[in-house]
């Protein structure tokens, strides 16, 4: 059966409404709309969705891990801004290392270019779910048709992508997968209640309606899946962790927007950093129990000490947004705020919510017990 998988980045369960997302609201009602339980993860979410493996099982969790990066080591000496270096970085990763998970350099400090590497080698279209079928995968910077890759580094908006995607519908392909990302960008920039955000929500709803209707018209007896990786919440306070640790010259650290991870050369530094972190009221150091609860992988490359912020707080500066913060964020402990995504399927399901690692079983075998 032909399957459409429409991935609406950042369209949280709580944003579905008759008013702002009428198509998704009704389509969910006529079919099945479930709350998709999200994870305390970045990269690991889509990976779990398509493989059924949690970050603790796959080791795929955040965008970067503590691992030697030879390409980064070379690029750190080239006096160009990270935004420009990101292109040769991605191309070298693809052509020299054979990676398909292509990351930008964001605002990672140069001294760390050689110390951190992508949290995974491959993008999800390399996984079994796609590889055992004929497929179209469309997500920046890849348009892949049965492993024939077209790279397009130009930032296309979702409208452009939707048009291109629809044109790819043909009789010989089983799986059609597209990721739309403009809502994620808008929510980061404006937060969850802004006028522009509402407009973007409505636009995403109309894209969903266009894609699904076109797909159903062409392939009436087909499977339709619409999902999102997480919701969003508004930022109420920024926390400058860089300021607190600037005098430590011998530690390595990675500052994601909501997670700070540390690696040490001396026990003294470790103790002092732990003391500093313990004084930050709006977050916590993950202990083994937390790691188990949130399915965090345990290796050293993920962080010797991992500090996670409470919902609504944001590290500024951080290695993603740099010195300028943003209004909305995701990537928090999922039991502390409503950050769940959606899972819509044109099939009757007797459930109100579903775990990310149950999805594969449901798509592949039609059952929920995995
Ligand atoms: Zn995001």
- Distance, C-alpha 90 to centroid of its chain: 18
Instruction: Please say if the pLDDT value at position 279 is more than 70.
Output: yes
What's the pLDDT tens digit per position in 283-298?
999 999 999 999 999 9
Compute the distance from residue 247 Cα to the ligand 1 centre, in Å.
Answer: 30
Mean predicted confidence (pLDDT) in 331-352: 96
Number of other CB atoms surrounding residue 331 within 10 Å? 23
pLDDT at 365 over 90: no
Q: Which residues pair with 144 in a beta bridge?
A: 137, 149
The percentage of residues in the chain with a pLDDT greater than 70, rounded to a whole number, is 99
- β-pair type (259-263, 305-309): antiparallel
**How far, in Å, from the CA of 339 to the mean position of ligand 1?**
12
**Whether this model's pTM surpasses 0.85:** yes
Cβ burial of 132 (10 Å; 0-12, 13-18, 19+) is: exposed
161 neighbors 178 (Cβ within 8 angstroms): yes
Q: Residue 366: pLDDT band by 50, 70, 90 thresholds?
A: low
Task: Encode pLDDT of 216-271 as tens digits.
Answer: 999 999 999 999 999 999 999 999 999 999 999 999 999 999 999 999 999 999 99
Coil, strand, or helix at residue 227? strand
Q: What's the confidence (pLDDT) of residue 370? A: 35
Whole-number Å distance, alpha carbon 327 to ligand 1 midpoint, is 11
Q: CB within 5 A of ion ligand 1: which residues?
A: 184
* Average pLDDT of every residue of the chain: 95
In angstroms, what is the span from residue 191 Cα to ligand 1's centroid?
11
Going by C-alpha positions, the residue among 119, 128, 125, 123 that lies closest to residue 297 is 119
94-129 confidence digits (pLDDT tens): 999 999 999 999 999 999 999 999 999 999 999 999
Contacts with 259 (C-beta within 8 Å, 6 or more apart), sequence order: 62, 306, 307, 308, 309, 331
Q: What is the mean pLDDT of residues 37-42?
A: 97
d(CA 93, CA 96): 6
Q: Which two tokens stand for residue 98?
A: 């054979």
Would you state the pLDDT for residue 369? 43
Cis before 317 (ω within 30): yes
Annotated domain spans of the chain: 3-57+121-233+335-365, 68-117, 236-325
Say how many Å lie between the CA of residue 75 and the centre of ligand 1: 26
- The answer on pLDDT for 367 being more than 70 is no
Tell whether domain 3-57+121-233+335-365 is in CATH 3.40.190.10: no
Tens digits of residue pLDDT in 172-181? 999 999 999 9
Fold classification of 236-325 is Gyrase A; domain 2 (3.30.1360)
* Comparison of pLDDT for 364 and 126, the residue scoring more: 126
């Amino acid at each position: 059966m032909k399957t459409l998988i429409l991935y609406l980045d950042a369209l949280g369960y709580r944003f579905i409404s008759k008013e702002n997302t009428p198509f998704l609201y009704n389509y969910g009602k006529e079919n099945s709309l479930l709350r998709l339980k999200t994870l305390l993860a970045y990269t690991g979410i889509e990976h779990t969705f398509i493989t059924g493996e949690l970050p603790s099982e796959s080791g795929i969790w955040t965008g970067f891990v503590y691992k030697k990066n030879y390409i980064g080591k070379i690029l750190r000496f080239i006096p160009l801004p990270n935004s420009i270096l990101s292109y040769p970085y991605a191309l070298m990763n693809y052509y020299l290392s054979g990676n398909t998970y292509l990351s930008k350099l964001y605002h990672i400090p140069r001294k760390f270019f050689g110390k951190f590497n992508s949290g995974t080698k491959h993008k999800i279209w390399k996984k079994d779910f796609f590889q055992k079928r004929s497929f179209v995968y469309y997500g920046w910077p890849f348009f892949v048709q049965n492993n024939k890759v077209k790279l397009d580094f130009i930032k296309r908006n979702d409208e452009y992508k939707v048009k291109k995607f629809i044109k790819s519908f043909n009789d010989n392909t089983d799986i059609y997968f597209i990721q739309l990302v403009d809502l994620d960008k808008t929510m980061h920039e404006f937060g969850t209640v802004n006028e522009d955000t509402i407009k973007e929500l409505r636009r995403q709803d109309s894209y969903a309606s266009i894609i699904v209707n076109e797909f159903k018209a062409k392939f009436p007896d087909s499977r339709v899946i619409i999902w999102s990786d997480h919701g969003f919440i508004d930022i109420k306070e920024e926390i400058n962790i860089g300021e607190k640790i600037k005098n430590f010259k011998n530690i390595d650290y990675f500052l994601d927007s909501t997670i700070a991870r540390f690696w040490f050369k001396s026990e003294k530094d470790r103790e002092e950093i732990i003391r500093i972190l313990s004084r930050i009221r709006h977050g916590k150091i993950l202990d083994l129990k937390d790691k188990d609860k949130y399915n965090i992988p345990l290796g050293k490359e993920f962080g010797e000490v991992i500090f996670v912020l409470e919902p609504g707080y944001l590290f500024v500066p951080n290695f993603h947004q740099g010195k300028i913060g943003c209004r909305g964020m995701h990537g928090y402990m999922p039991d502390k705020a409503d950050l769940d995504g959606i899972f819509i399927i044109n099939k009757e399901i007797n459930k109100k919510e579903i775990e990310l690692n149950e999805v594969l079983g449901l798509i592949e075998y039609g059952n929920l017990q995995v």
